[in-house]
Structure 1
Amino acid sequence: MNSKAVHTPFAMLADRMRHRVYFTGCLCAWIVLLLGCAPKKPEKKPSILYILADQWRASATGYAGDPNVRTPHLDQLAKQSINFQNAVSVIPVCTPYRASLMTGRYPTSTGMFLNDLHLPLTEYGLGDVLADRGYTTAYIGKWHLDGQGRHAYIPPERRRGFAYWKAAECDHDYNQSHYYTGNSPEKQYWEGYDVYAQTADAKAYIAGQLENEKPFALFLSYGTPHFPHHTAPEELQQNYPPGEIILPANVPESMGEQVRKEAQGYYAHCEALDQSIGDLLAYLDALGIREETLIVFTSDHGEMLGSHGVRPKAKQVPLAESARIPFLLHYPPLHGKSGRTVQTPITTPDIFPTLFGLLDLPIPDTYEGDDLSSVLTENSEIEGHAVLYMQLAPWGVAGPYGREYRAVKTAQYTYVRSLDGPWLLFNDQKDPLQLTNLIEEPAYEAIVSQLDEKLEALLGKRGDAFHPAQWYLDRWQLKPGAHGSIPYDKEGTVPPQSPQLRKDAS
């Protein structure tokens, strides 16, 4: 009998079916294997840690090239983050920045262009926005948006959706600063130097969120390195002997002694913050959650420290030391273990539209800033992009820089217009200290024209006709004090200053 298989039609059909079953089984096995190896979709959105310093200028870090300050932890973070090199404060003053951050809107829309103003409760506050998107919310430190006194109790209904609350309106007595918490109007005090105490509280809050099914959004709002500078930790001030501080070339030598004295404490505050931020980052590592936390380090505005002859402690002006701020974004799922530098400029109202775009969260219709998340997700730049910043009602600065202005920042230039017309033009890439005003140079006439068109387009988009300061004061019925802020008495209380505040306070 022949030992070869007999290939009947039935046998051939059965053979084909066996092969098909085998192939299908292998395919299913491969699919299961691939699915097992593929990254799992995160069960919840990443938590957000927003670290906000007060009056820390963009140039005052080691990674930005300052030869004096010691910021090893931030320097390392910068290597592992996306560094927005051209970030500016929409108005380089405390309250206006914070109002813009919390609303995603420009000061010309909200009327929040002076210190110590009340942010109307009709504005969609960021804590509420984040809560509506599934986050638990927390705020620690300086608030400066309630406008009813720097020592006034801020009840829960005026906290704009932040559930965990250890904050005060404003207190720069860093070694005995106060805060309120819970539903109690009783004033509490941070133990010792408040930077250290607030950092410890932030760590405790984060630890308490580990078992929470929701991600957290924590705002850690430090008061330093804002003056008074001499109150920085003494042991850190010793690291900056005034005689050894190297001043930039745009500080007049006649101001050298005064500036070095202030810079000693300023840099000591910066170093204390750097140590605390390093401690906080190490804690996230120890908990194993740094990889799943989106971290931002930035500031509300800068500090002149004598540059261009402007007194130390001043901000407000359109120059780089005042308007430009550090801005690091650390989120390893986006950029891995190494970071990169972004040249596309960003301003305050753009920050949360960009973060929400990055995290695929709905952006509120009320937001006026731009979503720049494509710069992050596509590893790209937006060529020719310009951002707007401004000063509606100048205060606290004597001399040529104490005036109203509108400005645009691009990757290469700073262009500023005053009420009298084109005022300042700096090539920031070639002249980072802004020593040479190019506004009247014939070779830059076309650049001035192009940037003025960009500025006009941005103002048109915001409906801002660039009026004198009094127009805006009259519109919002504001009466600032001698220093430009809303006046308050020795007890830190103020009278209502606007119709909306009177309505909120009633």
Structure 2
Amino acid sequence: MRTKNMFKVKKLIVALMGCLFFTVSLAQKPNILFVFADQLRSQELSCYGGVNIKTPNLDRLADEGLMMTNAISTYPICSPFRGMLLTGLYPLKSGISNNDHPLNPELPSFAKSCKKEGYNTAYIGKWHIDGIGRTAYIPEERRLGYDHWQALECTHNYFKSLYFHNNEVEPKYWKGFDAEAQTKAAQDYIRARDTEKPFFLTLSWGPPHDPYIAPQEYMDKVEPKKLILRENVTEHLMEEELQNNPRFKIPERYIHSHAKLRVRAKDENIIRKRYAGYLAATLALDDYIGELLQTLEEEGILDNTIVVFTSDHGDQLGSHQFYGKNVPFAESISIPFLVRYPKVLKQGTIADNLLSPIDMFSTVFGMANIDHHEIDGVDLTPAIVNEAVDARDAILLMNLTHFNNTSLINGLDTYRGIQTKKYTYARYEDKTPWLLFDNENDPFQVNNLVGNSAYTGLIKTLDKKLDKLLIEAQDPENTKEIYDRIMRENPKRIMVNEFRKVNPDL
């Protein structure tokens, strides 16, 4: 009997030791706080050389950790970025071929991977990958593994902003400016966390995306007349080429409804006013980053938390006289990527490795030593930390459809392209070269090298690289095929039928 009882005691001790080891190992895993803004181009942050405002808290992330100078938004509009970020898959694999198109909720995701590793998961802010309706309730099974939930599909009504709290089907309103309220919700989540388990918290802000507003205290800090505009705001040749020689027909009602928006990309007074609101919102976000860092410090977990800041894409704000985003110019595709994690990253690390949205979480997970599902992205941690050979020599660029606001307003056709450290190249679907820029010698991209016979060989080389990336992305480079797929997945996309009426080949 004694032997039997001793055996039971030993089993209990072993079990308790196992639980203790599991708890300790979980406690040693780093927390992850991943914050991203909407439509914030890298050029505005002072750590990236911005000249109009100071962003000391975001600069702190760069000073105390990593700043990546070649973070590129592959498909620079909202939903495709989010699909790539949360799954690590290219748009046609995740299903997000355009804004307001549903992502397959059965897909693996980084939040699901974190849960398998023992993490608590939380999402706060703008979602925009459900595709069922911008104010519709998103049930638990469509949240890609996030448990704590304070989110809405999409709104840019920043001072009267809805969200759903966990499984409550009646929406609530964020108090005041939604980005500030969402930051406070993130702080509350961190303070009330389960201290025996690490957390994976994603915070998604709507600003500085238009309507370019912020609390008045920040609006008062930026004077439109004193702003230094980018040198390419007056460049208009490429925009005029698209307006005067459209490669597709825009349905009549969209021509009229978007005519006034074209003016906003040409009128300097309007550009300055919008730019001022954009920068005011950026100042607010910088303060909120500071508050998040302070909360992590107060909780004693700052150095055991991987803090990441990025954005889904940029904003033309009149550069090249284009409206919005979704064009392969630096203002649209160049985004910040800042990481603080002193256990892996040296202070003041500046890396010029090419980074796509599909690489972001795999790189963060590499720093955290967390396993995840098979993805298209790569972990850039070894190349960053060891200054090794780059994992990528080119990033894919794309616009898969015609029916988003920026395509309609700018007369923009579908395109595919690539970004290297030196060049930006884009071509139309029929393989006709559209743009080629030498970004080292022409940083404002005003000298299009397409048509210059000295670059014929380079274009052929870039085309081969692009073809290889399209195979990896399972992109047929065929708008008709993509539109057929969209209609199968979401028959309510009436805009596809509208485009096909005036463009029978689509």
Pairwise same-fold verdict (TM > 0.5)? yes
What SS does the aligned partner of 2:169 have?
A: coil
1:279-298 matched pairs, under 5 angstroms: 279-298=291-310
Deviation of 1:361 (Å) = 2.2
Residue 215 (structure 1) aligns with: 198
Normalised TM-score (structure 1) = 0.82
- Superposed CA deviations along residues 378-400 of structure 1, whole A, max 9, x for unmatched, are 23341761111211103323587
Whether the 8 Å contact between 2:394 and 2:419 is mirrored in structure 1 is yes
Kindly provide the amino acid, as one letter, of the partner of residue 379 in structure 2. D
1:354 pairs with 358, 363, 381, which one? 363
Distance change (3 Å), C-alpha of 1:242 and 1:43 = closer
- Superposed CA deviations along residues 327-373 of structure 1, whole A, max 9, x for unmatched, are 1121111123x1221111111111122222333222312x1112222
The whole-number CA distance in structure 2 between the counterparts of 1:289 and 1:431 is 44
1:326 pairs with 336, 342, 353, which one? 336
Whether the 8 Å contact between 1:53 and 1:298 is mirrored in structure 2 is yes
Is 2:246 the partner of 1:238?
no
Distance change (3 Å), C-alpha of 1:348 and 1:277 = same
Residue 13 (structure 1) aligns with: none
The whole-number CA distance in structure 1 between the counterparts of 2:294 and 2:183 is 12
1:230-379 matched pairs, under 5 angstroms: 231-252=213-234, 255-311=267-323, 314-336=324-346, 338-365=347-374, 367-379=375-387
Deviation of 1:182 (Å) = 2.4
Structure 1 unaligned residues grouped into runs of 5+: 1-39, 487-506
- Superposed CA deviations along residues 374-430 of structure 1, whole A, max 9, x for unmatched, are 213323341761111211103323587601111111112111121242221112222
Kindly provide the amino acid, as one letter, of the partner of residue 61 in structure 2. L
Whether the 8 Å contact between 1:71 and 1:271 is mirrored in structure 2 is yes
1:116-195 matched pairs, under 5 angstroms: 116-195=100-179
Residue 84 (structure 2) aligns with: 100
Deviation of 1:94 (Å) = 0.7
Kindly provide the amino acid, as one letter, of the partner of residue 411 in structure 1. K
1:376-391 matched pairs, under 5 angstroms: 376-382=384-390, 385-391=393-399
Kindly provide the amino acid, as one letter, of the partner of residue 471 in structure 2. G
What SS does the aligned partner of 1:344 have?
A: strand
The whole-number CA distance in structure 1 between the counterparts of 2:411 and 2:348 is 36
Whether the 8 Å contact between 1:95 and 1:114 is mirrored in structure 2 is yes
Aligned residues: 440
What SS does the aligned partner of 1:345 have?
A: strand
- Superposed CA deviations along residues 142-181 of structure 1, whole A, max 9, x for unmatched, are 1111212111111222212111111111111111111111
Distance change (3 Å), C-alpha of 1:141 and 1:398 = closer
The whole-number CA distance in structure 2 between the counterparts of 1:288 and 1:484 is 56
Kindly provide the amino acid, as one letter, of the partner of residue 386 in structure 2. E
Larger Cα-atom Rg: 1
Kindly provide the amino acid, as one letter, of the partner of residue 446 in structure 1. G
Residue 393 (structure 1) aligns with: 401
- Name the stretch that deviates more: 473-482 or 270-279: 473-482
Whether the 8 Å contact between 1:342 and 1:381 is mirrored in structure 2 is no
2:426 pairs with 413, 416, 419, which one? 416
- Name the stretch that deviates more: 379-388 or 268-277: 379-388
Is 2:467 the partner of 1:456?
yes
The whole-number CA distance in structure 1 between the counterparts of 2:102 and 2:428 is 27
1:487-502 matched pairs, under 5 angstroms: none
Whether the 8 Å contact between 1:357 and 1:363 is mirrored in structure 2 is no
The whole-number CA distance in structure 1 between the counterparts of 2:302 and 2:458 is 44
- Superposed CA deviations along residues 216-246 of structure 1, whole A, max 9, x for unmatched, are 00001111101111x3112211221111111
What SS does the aligned partner of 2:417 have?
A: strand
Deviation of 1:213 (Å) = 1.7
Deviation of 1:306 (Å) = 0.4
Percent same amino acid at aligned positions?
40
The whole-number CA distance in structure 2 between the counterparts of 1:340 and 1:443 is 37
- Name the stretch that deviates more: 356-365 or 342-351: 356-365
Deviation of 1:70 (Å) = 2.9
What SS does the aligned partner of 2:233 have?
A: coil
2:485 pairs with 459, 467, 475, which one? 475
- Superposed CA deviations along residues 417-467 of structure 1, whole A, max 9, x for unmatched, are 212422211122222211111223233333222222211111122332311
What SS does the aligned partner of 1:454 have?
A: helix
Kindly provide the amino acid, as one letter, of the partner of residue 339 in structure 1. G
What SS does the aligned partner of 2:272 have?
A: helix
The whole-number CA distance in structure 2 between the counterparts of 1:169 and 1:390 is 23
Deviation of 1:481 (Å) = 5.3
More helix per residue: 2
Residue 205 (structure 1) aligns with: 189
- Superposed CA deviations along residues 288-338 of structure 1, whole A, max 9, x for unmatched, are 211111111000111110000112xx11111111112111121111123x1
Deviation of 1:483 (Å) = 10
Structure 2 unaligned residues grouped into runs of 5+: 1-23, 236-265, 500-506
- Name the stretch that deviates more: 300-309 or 232-241: 232-241
The whole-number CA distance in structure 2 between the counterparts of 1:484 and 1:71 is 45
Distance change (3 Å), C-alpha of 1:399 and 1:126 = same
Whether the 8 Å contact between 2:65 and 2:339 is mirrored in structure 1 is yes
Whether the 8 Å contact between 1:78 and 1:339 is mirrored in structure 2 is yes
The whole-number CA distance in structure 1 between the counterparts of 2:300 and 2:498 is 44
The whole-number CA distance in structure 1 between the counterparts of 2:301 and 2:456 is 52
- Superposed CA deviations along residues 27-58 of structure 1, whole A, max 9, x for unmatched, are xxxxxxxxxxxxx9885211100001001012
